[in-house]
Structure 1
Amino acid sequence: MFWRGVLGYLPVNIAQGVVGLLTIVLFTRVLTPEQYGVYALAFSVLSLTQTVLLTWTEAAMARFHARQDADGRLPDHFATLYRLWFGLALVAPIVAAGVLRFAPLSAPMKVAVAAAFAGAVVKSLAKLSQERRRAAGEVSGAALLDIVQTVGGFVLGLVLALVGLGGAAPLLGMGAISLLCLVFVLPAELRRSTGGRYDPAMAKAYAAYGVPVALSLVLALVLSTTDRFLLAAFLNEQAVGVYHAGYSLGSRTLDVVFIWLGMAGGPALVAALERGGHPALKDAAHEQAGFMVLLTLPAAVGLALVGRPLAQVMVGPDLSAGAGHVVPWIAVAGWLSGVTTYYLLQAFTLGRKTLMLIGCMAIPAGANVILNLALIPRFGLDGALWSTAASYGVGAVGAALLGRRACPLPVPWAALTRCGLACALMAAAVLAVPAFGGVVELILKACAGAVVYGVAALALDAGGVRGRALDILQRRLKPA
C-alpha cells in the first residue's frame, strides 16, 4: 500500500512543488513586501481557524475509516462525522465577525482575514472528502482533488492579485476553487451516509481521538507562526514578508517530499497495524523511515548550501537578499519538523494515545514563544531564525522519547549514518563550486550535489537504495 501510494501521489507532489515555487516567484513580485506580509499573516489565520475548529473531524475520518469499514458501519461513520463538522462550521462566522469588529486591523488586513475565515471552512470540507478517499485507498481520486485545488487556487489567486486585490488575493483564489470542487464532490460524499445515523458513542470516540490531535496541531501552528506575529509586533509587516518569503522557499521545498511520503505512509502504517499487528507495523515503519531519510536529508542539506543563489533566482528583488539569509536556518528547522510530523508523531495516532500529543507539542511551542520574545527584540530577524531551529530540535527529541511510550517506532540508525556520510561528501563538492551568484551558481551546485550524493548513496547502500534499485532492475529484465 505504501509504494502504491508513493507512486500514485507523485503527480500531486509535483504539482504542489511547482505551484509552491511559482507562488514564491510570482507573488513576491506581484505583491509589495507589505502586501506579502499581509498574505503571510492572513494565511496563518486560515491555518489556525481550520485547525482549531475542524481538523479533528478530518483526523477521525482518516483514522477510523478502516475500522468502521471492517465492522460494516461506514454509513454511520459518515453520518456522524458530517453532522459534527457542520455543527462546528457554524462557529467560524461568529468568530470572524468578532475579530473583524473588534481587532485593530487595517482595511487590507480585514479583507485578507475575512477571506481566511471563509477559506478555512470550504477547504476543510473538501479535506474531509480527500481524507475519505485516502483512507479508502482511492489514490487517483484523492490525487485529482488535491491537484485541482492546488493548481486552480494558485492560478485564480494570481489573477486576483494582478487585478489589485493585494494580500487577500491568494486566499480568495484558494477558497473559491475549493468551493467549486465541493459542487462536484460533496453530493456524492453526503450520499455515503445514506442509511446511517448519528451515533453519540461514535462521536465521543472520535472526539477523544481527534480533539487532542487538533490541539497538538494548534500548538504546532504556534510553533510555526508565532514568529510572524511577533516580527510584525516588534518590527513591521515588511520584515514579516522577508521572513515568510525565505521560510516558504525553505519549508515548501522540503514539505513537497515530506507530504508526498506522508500521504502514502500514514494510511499504510494504519493498515499494517490493523491487519498485521505490531510486527507488521515495525517492518512497514522501518522501511518508510529509511526511505524518508534517504530522500529528505540530502534535500535539506542541499537547500541550506544553495540558499543564497536559490533566493536570488526565486524571490523578488525587494525580498531576495533577506530571504537568502533565512533559507539555511529554515532548511534545518524544516527537516526536523518534517521528520517529527510525518514519522515520529505517528506513534501517538497509531497507538491512539493522542492526549500525549498535546504534551509533546507543548514543549517546543512554549520554547518557541519564550525564545522569540527574548531574541527578536534584541536580534531581530536572526532571533526568529535561531528560535525556530532550536524549538524544532527540542520537538524532535521530545517526540522520539515520548513516542516510545505510545507506540514504539524504529529509528533507522543505519540509514541516518550512511545518508549523513553521503551528505557530507555532497557538501564538500557543493562548497568547492565558486560563488558565481544567481542561476549559474545554483545549477552548478545542484548538479554537483546530486551526482556526488547519488554515487555515494549507491556505494554506501544508504537507506537500502542499492538493493531496491537492483530489485527494480531485475523486475524490468524478467521475461514476461
Structure 2
Amino acid sequence: MLRDSAIYILSRVVPSGLGFVTGIALTWLLTPEAYGIYGLGLTIVVLVAGIFFDWHGLSFMRFFQANADNPRFMPTVVQTFVLLCIASLVLVPLVLLVAAEIAGAFGAAGKDYRLLIAIALPGCWAYAWFELAARVQVAQFRPMRYFWMNLTRNLLILGFGLAAAWAWHSAYPVLAGGFVAMLAAGLLFRIPHLSLMPRRFDPEMARRLFAFGWAMALVRALGSASFAVDRFLLETLIGTDAVGFYTAAYQLAQTAIVTIGAGIGSATYSLAVRAVESGDLGAVNRQLSRNSTLLLALLLPASIGAAMVSPTLAKLLVGPDYVGPVANLTAWMALGAFFTGFRANYLDHAFQLGHKTHGLLKVTLVTTTVNIVLDIVLIPRFGVVGVAIANLISGATGMCYAAWAARAVMPMPIAWRDAAKIAIAVLAMALFLWPFYGRGALPALAAAVFGGAAVYGAALLALDAMDLRGVLKRRLARFS
C-alpha cells in the first residue's frame, strides 16, 4: 500500500506542482479581473462535473472490481457518459443563463456569461473524460500509467495556458487551451474495451450504476454548488477581481493539500473496496485503520505547514497586485483544507462502501448549508476573507458530522495512539515554523520547508509512529 500510495501521491503532487506554477504564473500575465473570469470558468467546470459526471466516475470505481471481466461493463460506462454529455448540453446553458439573470437582479447586471459558458461546457466534457480515463488506471491498479496521464495533462496545460495568456492576456483563450490539453491527454491513454455500439449497452448495469450513484450525484452537486456559490457570491457582492484573488489563494494554499488527500484517497479507496468484496471484516478494519493513519500522517502536517508558509509564498510568488489579499487568505484556506480533505478521502468512504450514499447526502447538505449561510453573513463584513473563514468552519462542521453519521453505516477505525503521536510531531513542526511565519525572504522559506519536514520526520521516528522504526529496519535489512 505504501508503494502504490507514494506513486499515486506523486501522480498528483508532480503534475499539481506544474498546475501550481501555471496558476501562479498567470497572476503575472492576467489582471485580477481577468483572473477572476478564469476562476469563474473553472468554477463552472467543477459545478457541471459535480452535477453530471462525478457520481458516474464513483459508480464506476465501486463496481469495476466485480465486473472487470464483463465485456458489456465498459461499453455501458462509456455510453452512459455520452448520454450525460447530451443531458448537460441541453440543461446547463439554460440554467446558467437564468442564474446570471438572477445575479444581475442583485447587482451583477451587464455581465455576459455566454462566451464563458460556451468555452466551459465542452471543457467540462474534456475534464470529465480525462477523470474517467484516469479512474480506469486506478481501478486496474496501474499507478504508473496514472502518473504519466496526470503529468502529460499538466505539462500540456502549462504550455497551452501560458502561451495563450502571453499572447492575448485574456482568460478565454487560457481556459480553451487548458481544456484542449485535458482532452488530448485523456485520448492519449485510451479506455480499454471502449465501444459505442448500442448492442453492447447493458440496461441493467446502467440501472445499477444509477441506483448507486443517484445519491452521490446529489452529494457532488451540493458540494460543487457550495464551491460555486463562494465564487459567484464574491462576483455579485464584491466584484470579479475578488474572485481572482480567491482563485490565486486557492492555488497557493490548497492545491498541495487537496493533491495529497486525493492521491492517498486514490490508492486507499480501491484497496478498501477489495477488502470489502472479500467479506473478511477483520481485513476491512485493518485496511481502513491503515488508510486513516496514512491520510492523517500526511494531510495534517501538510495543512499546518501550508498555513504557516503560504503568506511567505504569497509575498514571493504572486503578481504584485495580488500579494496583500492573497496573503490574508492563505492560512485560513490551508487549515480548512484539512477538515475537508480528511472527510472526503476517508470518512465519506463509509457511505460509499456501505451502499448508504443517502447518509453522505445528509452530511453534504449540512456542510453546504452552513457554508452558504456563513458566506452570506461574513462576506459583507470581512470581504473575500469571509469566504475562507466560512470554508474553515463549514469544513470542520462537516467532518464532525460525517464522523458521527458514519457510525451507523460502517465503522471507520482510527488508530488513536498513532494519531496522538502524529499530532505531537506536527506540534513540534509548528513550533519550529513559528519564527518563520510571514517572512518574505527566500532563504527563510527554504529553511522553513526543509527544516519543518526534517523536524516532523525526526519526531515521528522518535515516537515510533506507525511502527516507523520497524519499517525502516526491515527496508534496510533488504540491502544488507
* Per-residue deviation, 1:447: 2.9
* Per-residue deviation, 1:431: 1.7
Return the match for 1:79 from 62, 75, 87.
75
AA aligned opposite 1:250: A
TM-score computed with the length of structure 2 as normaliser: 0.92
In structure 1, the residue matched to 2:417 is 414
Return the match for 1:220 from 214, 223, 238.
223
- Counterparts of 1:172-211 in structure 2, within 5 Å, are 172-186=176-190, 188-191=192-195, 197-211=200-214
- Counterparts of 1:114-129 in structure 2, within 5 Å, are 114-129=118-133
- Counterparts of 1:66-465 in structure 2, within 5 Å, are 66-69=65-68, 72-73=69-70, 75-98=71-94, 103=100, 109-164=113-168, 166-186=170-190, 188-191=192-195, 197-433=200-436, 436-465=439-468
* Per-residue deviation, 1:359: 0.8
Structure 2 CA distance for aligned equivalents of residues 187 and 467 of structure 1: 40
AA aligned opposite 1:135: A
Residues 333/88 of structure 1: CA separation in 2 closer, same or farther (3 Å cut): same
AA aligned opposite 1:38: I
Output one character per residue of 1:180-210: Cα deviation in whole Å (capped at 9) or x when no partner. Answer: 235444575415x889732222221110111
Q: Find out whether 1:55 has 2:54 as its counterpart.
A: yes
Q: Where does structure 1 lack aligned partners over 5 or more consecutive residues? A: none
Aligned length: 472
* Per-residue deviation, 1:90: 0.7
Is the contact between residue 36 and residue 244 of structure 2 (CA under 8 Å) also seen in structure 1?
yes
Output one character per residue of 1:234-259: Cα deviation in whole Å (capped at 9) or x when no partner. Answer: 11111121122112211102112112
Is the contact between residue 304 and residue 332 of structure 1 (CA under 8 Å) also seen in structure 2?
yes
Residues 97/222 of structure 1: CA separation in 2 closer, same or farther (3 Å cut): closer
RMSD of aligned C-alpha atoms? 2.3
Output one character per residue of 1:267-304: Cα deviation in whole Å (capped at 9) or x when no partner. Answer: 11111211253211111111121122112211111111
In structure 1, the residue matched to 2:105 is none
Structure 1 CA distance for aligned equivalents of residues 463 and 349 of structure 2: 28
* Per-residue deviation, 1:263: 1.6
SS in 1 for 2:355: coil
Is the contact between residue 47 and residue 228 of structure 2 (CA under 8 Å) also seen in structure 1?
no
Structure 2 CA distance for aligned equivalents of residues 44 and 63 of structure 1: 27
Q: Where does structure 2 lack aligned partners over 5 or more consecutive residues? A: 102-108
SS in 2 for 1:140: helix
Output one character per residue of 1:93-145: Cα deviation in whole Å (capped at 9) or x when no partner. Answer: 22354367664586785433322111111221232222222112222223322
393-402 or 106-115, which deviates more? 106-115
Is the contact between residue 5 and residue 263 of structure 1 (CA under 8 Å) also seen in structure 2?
no
TM-score computed with the length of structure 1 as normaliser: 0.92
* Per-residue deviation, 1:377: 1.3
Residues 243/459 of structure 1: CA separation in 2 closer, same or farther (3 Å cut): same
SS in 1 for 2:230: helix
* Per-residue deviation, 1:68: 1.2
In structure 1, the residue matched to 2:104 is none
Percent identical among aligned pairs is 27
Is the contact between residue 116 and residue 172 of structure 2 (CA under 8 Å) also seen in structure 1?
yes
Is the contact between residue 78 and residue 196 of structure 1 (CA under 8 Å) also seen in structure 2?
no
